[in-house]
Amino acid sequence: MLEKVDMKRKADWQDYDARMAHLEIRMGELQRECKKQGIPIAILFEGFSAAGKGTMIGKMIAPLDPRGFKVYTMEKETEDDKMHPYLWRFATKMPAKGRIHIFDHSWYQGYPQTLQTEEIRQFEKQFTDDGVVLIKFFLAITCKEQKKRLSTLEKSKDTKWRVTEKDWKKNKEYDTNLEQYDTMLIQTDTSNAPWTVVEAMDKKYAICKIMTTVVKRLEIALEAKKAGVKATDAVPDLLEEDLRNGVLQGVDLSLTMEPQEYKKKRKDLQKRLEVLHNKMYLQRVPVVLAFEGWDAGGKGGAIKRITQCMDPRGYEVVPVASPNEVEKSHHYLWRFWEKFPKDGHMTIFDRTWYGRVLVERVEGFATEQEWKRAYQEINAMEAHLVKSGAIVLKFWMHIDPEEQEKRFKQRMETPEKQWKITDEDWRNREKWDEYEKAIDEMMLRTSTQEAPWHIIEANSKLYARIRVLEIVVEALEKRLT
Amino acid sequence: MLEKVDMKRKADWQDYDARMAHLEIRMGELQRECKKQGIPIAILFEGFSAAGKGTMIGKMIAPLDPRGFKVYTMEKETEDDKMHPYLWRFATKMPAKGRIHIFDHSWYQGYPQTLQTEEIRQFEKQFTDDGVVLIKFFLAITCKEQKKRLSTLEKSKDTKWRVTEKDWKKNKEYDTNLEQYDTMLIQTDTSNAPWTVVEAMDKKYAICKIMTTVVKRLEIALEAKKAGVKATDAVPDLLEEDLRNGVLQGVDLSLTMEPQEYKKKRKDLQKRLEVLHNKMYLQRVPVVLAFEGWDAGGKGGAIKRITQCMDPRGYEVVPVASPNEVEKSHHYLWRFWEKFPKDGHMTIFDRTWYGRVLVERVEGFATEQEWKRAYQEINAMEAHLVKSGAIVLKFWMHIDPEEQEKRFKQRMETPEKQWKITDEDWRNREKWDEYEKAIDEMMLRTSTQEAPWHIIEANSKLYARIRVLEIVVEALEKRLT
């Protein structure tokens, strides 16, 4: 979840002040309305040291009526806390109806030593089932920024006390911590209590994102209450484009490769792959390659350069289209389970189970509840595959709209490629922004440590094919002896 | 869950044949209706060796159209199974809409080595969320019966092959297995996929219970489909009285104690308790005693005999009544978290969080969804307490209606006890049967290995008080050095 975020997002909008003014008014209004409707609200802040939790909380509560909220600083255990079960300190502080409780540090401090994922999920679910609006913020900054902030705090006499040995140790181990946080976030990112990762390098950006999130979640909760449905059953797309974690934004599509270099590298990688394919079979390791991407992104081309050098009895390419009648009468993941490889074999999926959170989401083939719970279902399925010993690699073939248009036109003009282009392809282009939103969210919520997403810069077909081959070869070499 | 079940239940009803005939007709009708409505049904059978899974499956499918169901025997892994991730063999066999798939042994075979509780719950939830009616049967027989059946099978040439070394080993380790099954059942007993424990000693009883359960679950699913709600949101009380796991039935209320023996034992136990109370404090062990029971069951009397001998600074008795305004504005468990003891202290609850699944269920103060999910929420909360080091003891003070009436009358006739009896008490008596049903289900779904229920035979006040003291003293002695 964290590794795909561009922490350096800035609030460079002209209408920033007007925006914030509007949000502050809404915060006050919604607080009053939620109090009237008896909706309990819990907001928790986690994040890297020096990411600015305290500052953000201060700014967030500014427009609120102080009689209606309470801030709890939970980092240090009190003597009383230590004498009670770990969750006691939080359970007793959960808000009553109509109240807002804000936690600076929360039960996530207990992860993973004291609390496991399942305990956290169960703990949160009992409250969200009961109608609590649980908003979880994770503030993210880079290692360099963290170091800079810690130094600044340390230099001033007034703030020197806030920087401890522990903080410097955390900065030293930043990369390890990032990994651990990443796992923690993904495993506790549920449809009833999703995480919002806040790019916290730019304070103006961060507070805007935080307030916008709170405003939207409260609006949803109030609507749901009016309609008599559970708020978690009604969570629509949350944030405006400029506030989403724009994973795809940061991709460098200028990367290319010269034909000569391509030829050389392809030969070498394919040779290694051939050897590895044999080892894979003898060592009984199953491999799943999942290809997603924009139409004409180059999935087929990348797949071909993989299979070209392998014994066809040892792999299968599964082209995935919309489900047929039989498949539609089963659980949506059933047809993929059917196709997973046995030990020693490789299955390459051209389009995948991610269709649930992409096309089915955008076109409305799946209900909101269905695609919103799909992230966790997919993560669980992939986790089971990896736990059973499979290598799972996921590729997103990324191109920009201009490149796509170019390729679409080329296909139409080339007789033997005309079959590849349909009206549907052109129609999908019109929904580019909606798809980008869906892809961003997919990357965020399903890029796990065991099965991360690899975004392939695919404007250059040559570059893309080599990149894919490299990732496959490296993964196999790492696992096979 | 298992330890409270009376496995020897018999089908001694006069109308048995008529009942079965009716059930068989319903099974056929419902199969057709579910096919029309496109409802997928998965039924799995687990249980002790020789409990009769095969026989029961055979009888259950007899009234069904064979074109609409399929039985999968999953005990042995096929070569193909072994070469795929563990869940593959089950995920690929989950039923399409309108089909009934029956599993003789299921993914529970993977517990706990290959599959953890959370994985099982996630696996099942994705299907029940998708509309699959998942019915889970656990067939239970006693150790003695298991031995008898294994011997019978072994003696006949035709069935000798069915009894393996492994089966005899299981019979030897019956008690350990019972404990493990108990834990497995409780942890995977969810509101979307609850377990039905089938007392399988009497085959006639067992098949009746199985068919009745299937019929009811399908009726509920069809109703929910019509109403457009999720089936799991609409599961009402399932079974007729004679088919429930009657936990309270088997309690021997004739147990009494002579005053002289009572005096002697009480003195001894209270002396030991006084010493243990000190040790508890010094060793920082928190203790939670939870008392539930019929009105006039003797909760107060039992509590008094515990606190009489202890330093009042080291314990607190919390009398629990219906929640006040502040408490009602919080999550229902909040007021209990507030009162949990710190290390070294004891809190005694006179009535408890179980009110949610007792009075709130019977009187409708909690919605069905709310009390149905409460079992797991309560189990998770108690598990957290125990994991943090607390001793948690739960007592049900059990008397029969005649004894209750006697005590009610006594109270009305005794001026200083008149305050103890109200109109409400008499009204509750009218709902005795409903309460018994709620208590039975509570025992079943919340008696865990870490925090089992102790049913106290309380018709004799003297016997009951000693029994409670014994349990408390033994638990403390076991834990403290």
Chain A contact present for B325, CB below 8 A: no
A296 vs A398: CA distance, rounded Å: 10
Query: pLDDT for B424-465, tens place per residue?
Result: 888 888 999 999 999 999 999 999 989 999 999 999 999 999
Q: Which pLDDT belongs to residue A421?
A: 79
CB distance B384–A119 less than 8 Å? yes
DSSP class of residue B75 equals S
C-beta atoms surrounding A227 within 10 Å? 11
Scanning every residue of chain B, which has its alpha carbon at the shortest distance from the alpha carbon of A87? B384
In sequence order, the β-bridge partners of residue A103 are: A44, A72
Residue A342 near residue B80 (C-beta atoms within 8 A)? yes
Q: Tell me, what's the pLDDT at A418?
A: 77
Partner residue opposite B380 with nearest CB, options A122, A385, A390: A122
Residues 6+ apart with CB under 8 A from A354: A290, A292, A378, A442, A446
How many Å lie between the alpha carbon of B384 and the closest alpha carbon of chain A?
Answer: 7
**A352: Cβ–Cβ under 8 A, 6 or more apart, which residues?**
A290, A291, A292, A320, A336, A394
- Flag if B126 and A88 touch (Cβ within 8 Å): no
Which string of DSSP letters, residue by residue, matches B350-377? ES-GGGGGTHHHHTTSS-HHHHHHHHHH
Residue B324 per-residue DSSP state: -
CB within 8 Å of A179: residues ≥ 6 apart? A449
Report the alpha-carbon angle B467-B472-B477, nearest 5.
Answer: 125
Sorted by sequence, the CB contacts under 8 Å of residue B405 that are 6+ apart come out as: B429
B422 contacts chain A (CB < 8 A): no
Q: Quick one: pLDDT at residue A236? A: 52
Residue B233: the pLDDT is 58
Of B83, B92, B97, the CB nearest to A329: B97
Q: Decide if A380 and B123 are in contact by the 8 Å CB cutoff.
A: yes
Phi, psi of B246 (to 5 degrees): -80, 85
| pLDDT, tens digit only, all 481 positions of chain A | 888 888 888 988 899 999 999 999 999 999 999 999 999 999 999 999 999 999 999 999 999 999 999 999 999 999 999 999 999 999 999 999 999 999 999 999 999 999 999 999 999 999 999 999 999 999 999 999 999 999 999 999 888 888 999 999 999 999 999 999 999 999 999 989 999 999 999 999 999 999 999 999 999 999 999 988 776 655 555 667 777 777 888 899 999 999 999 999 999 999 999 999 999 999 999 999 999 999 999 999 999 999 999 998 899 999 999 999 999 999 999 999 999 999 999 999 999 999 999 999 999 999 988 999 999 999 999 999 999 999 999 999 999 999 999 999 998 888 877 777 788 888 888 999 999 999 999 999 999 989 999 999 999 999 999 999 999 999 999 999 8
| B228–chain A Cβ distance below 8 A for any pair | no
Query: CA–CA separation, A425 vs B244, rounded Å?
Result: 58
Q: Give the 3-state secondary structure of residue B394.
A: strand
Quote the CA–CA distance of A310 and A472 in Å, as a whole number. 13
pLDDT at residue B237, as a whole number: 59
Amino acid B425 reads D
CA torsion, points B16, B17, B19, B24, in degrees to nearest 10?
A: 140
Residues sharing a CB contact under 8 Å with residue A393, sequence separation 6 or more, in sequence order? A287, A288, A289, A290, A451, A454, A471, A472, A475
Cis peptide before A112 (omega within 30 of 0): yes
Q: What is the pLDDT of residue B421?
A: 79
Residues B393 and B479: beta-carbon distance below 8 Å: no
Question: Distance, in angstroms, between B365 CA and closest chain A CA?
Answer: 14
CA-nearest of A310, A265, A284 to A463 is: A265
Residues in chain A: 481
pLDDT at B162: 85
* Residue type (1 letter), B179: E
Q: Residue with structure tokens 């409505």?
A: B37
Q: Which residues of A touch B85 (CB under 8 A)?
A: 340, 384-385, 387-390
Best mutation target, A331, A338, A392, to test chain B (most B CBs within 10 A) = A331
CB pairs under 8 A between A and B: 125
Measure A478 CA to nearest chain B CA, in Å: 21
A427: distance to nearest CA of chain B, Å? Answer: 30
Strands B195-199 and A453-457: unpaired
Spatial distance between the Cα atoms of A426 and A430, rounded to a whole number of angstroms: 7
pLDDT at B7: 87
**Two structure tokens written together for A302:** 């990348």
Q: Label the pairing between strands B100-104 and B346-350.
A: unpaired
- Kindly state the tokens that stand for A388: 């059973």
Share of chain B above pLDDT 70, in %: 98
In the numeric block, which tokens belong to residue B259? 């005053």
User: Best of B114, B280, B282, B334 to disrupt the A interface by mutation (most A CBs within 10 Å)?
Assistant: B334
Distance (Å) from the alpha carbon of B336 to chain A's nearest alpha carbon: 9
Structure tokens at B230: 């999720």
Mean pLDDT of B127-147: 95
* pLDDT of B51 above 70: yes
**Residue in A212, A190, A163 with CA at minimum distance from that of residue A27:** A212
CA pair distance A385, B280, nearest whole angstrom? 47
Q: How far apart are CA A344 and CA A279, in angstroms?
A: 8
Element (H, E) at B288: strand B287-293
Do the interacting molecules here have an ipTM over 0.95? no
Tokens of A164: 């401890």
* pLDDT for res A232: 65
Candidates B302, B341, B295; CA nearest to B318 is B341
Closest-CA residue of A relative to B345 is: A83
Determine contact: B117 vs chain A, CB below 8 A.
yes
* Sequence-separated (6 or more) residues with CB below 8 Å from residue A397: A291, A292, A293, A294, A297, A298, A299, A302, A456, A458, A464
Strand A195-199, strand A100-104: pairing:
unpaired
Mean pLDDT of the region B297-304 = 95
The helix-helix angle for B368-387 and A117-129 (nearest 10°) equals: 150
Nearest-CA neighbor of B40 among B70, B14, B11, B61?
Answer: B70
Convert chain A into a string of H (helix), E (strand) and C (coil).
Answer: CCCCCCCCCCCCCCCHHHHHHHHHHHHHHHHHHHHHHCCCEEEEEEECCCCCHHHHHHHHHCCCCHHHEEEEECCCCCHHHHCCCCCHHHHCCCCCCCCEEEEECCHHHHCCCCCCHHHHHHHHHHHHHCCCEEEEEEEECCHHHHHHHHHHHHHCCCCHHHCCHHHHHHHHCHHHHHHHHHHHHHHCCCCCCCEEEEECCCHHHHHHHHHHHHHHHHHHHHHHHHHCCCHHHHCCCCCCHHHCCCCHHHCCCCCCCCHHHHHHHHHHHHHHHHHHHHHHHHCCCCEEEEEEECCCCCHHHHHHHHHCCCCHHHEEEEECCCCCHHHHCCCCCHHHHHHCCCCCCEEEEECCHHHHHCHHHHCCCCCHHHHHHHHHHHHHHHHHHHHCCCEEEEEEEECCHHHHHHHHHHHHHCHHHHHHCCHHHHHHHHCHHHHHHHHHHHHHHHCCCCCCEEEEECCCHHHHHHHHHHHHHHHHHHHCC
Q: Using CB atoms, which residue from A127, A385, A390 is nearest to B331?
A: A127
- Cβ-based contacts of A130 with chain B (< 8 Å): 331-332, 370
State the pLDDT at residue B481. 84
In angstroms, what CA-CA distances link A175 with B51, B229, B372, B437?
54, 46, 43, 55
The string over A73-82, giving b where at least 16 C-beta atoms fall within 10 Å of a residue's C-beta and e elsewhere, is: ebeeeeeebe
| Alpha carbon B144 to chain centroid, angstroms | 23
Residue A146 CB coordination number (10 Å) = 21
Flag if B330 and A132 touch (Cβ within 8 Å): no
Residue B223 near residue B177, CB atoms below 8 Å: no
Query: Chain B neighbours among A 258-287 (CB < 8 Å)?
Result: 284, 286
Sheet with A287-293, edge to edge strand ranges: A315-319, A346-350, A287-293, A391-398, A453-457
Of A94, A119, A331, the CB nearest to B334: A94
pLDDT above 60 (res B234):
no
Residue B74 has pLDDT above 60, yes or no: yes
CA-closest candidate to residue B139, choices B50, B51, B56, B239: B51
Q: Give the side-chain half-sphere CA count within 13 A for B184.
A: 22
Q: Distance between CA A153 and CA A148 in Å, rounded?
A: 9
> pTM (2 decimals)?
0.88
Q: What is the pLDDT of residue B301?
A: 94
Q: Report the alpha-carbon distance of residue B189 to residue A344 in Å, rounded.
A: 36
pLDDT of residue A252: 93
